[in-house]
């Protein structure tokens, strides 16, 4: 079960990288007025949701008790990210504020994961 948990953690980190990387890659296009939400950003956020849910499940399966407050706050931040992505993914031009919000919220999510014990 520890191997499965390790694989899920790696996939969770990859999901974060896709969301943050895909968002930051569009920042130069803001000046040109051609920034948009890449499809991979939504896929990365979906991967974060799925692997996060499975990671909480593995904690329960191993007999542990997860920090439900931490999980709840991280879920709220992730829902905020997904809502921003879904509201703006079909727009031809996305503002730098939207991209910054997605990037900032994903960094907040990582900080919550790492710093909240």
Instruction: Report pLDDT digits (tens) over 70-88.
Output: 999 999 999 999 999 999 9
Query: Given CA atoms 89, 19, 84, 59 in this order, what sign does their dihedral have?
Result: positive
How high is the pLDDT of residue 1?
85
pLDDT tens per residue across span 4-43? 999 999 999 999 999 999 999 999 999 999 999 999 999 9
* Rounded-to-integer distance, Cα 81 and Cα 99, Å: 10
- Tell me the whole-structure pTM to 2 decimals: 0.92
Mean pLDDT of 111-115: 96
């Amino acid at each position: 079960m520890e191997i499965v948990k390790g694989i899920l953690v790696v996939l969770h980190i990859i999901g974060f990288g896709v969301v943050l990387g895909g968002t930051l890659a569009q920042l130069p296009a803001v000046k040109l007025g051609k920034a948009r939400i890449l499809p991979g950003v939504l896929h990365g956020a979906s991967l974060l949701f799925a692997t996060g849910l499975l990671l909480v499940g593995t904690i329960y399966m191993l007999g542990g008790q997860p920090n439900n407050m931490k999980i709840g706050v991280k879920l709220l931040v992730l829902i905020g990210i997904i809502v921003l992505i879904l509201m703006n993914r079909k727009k031809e031009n996305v503002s730098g504020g939207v991209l910054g919000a997605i990037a900032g919220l994903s960094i907040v999510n990582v900080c919550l994961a790492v710093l909240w014990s």
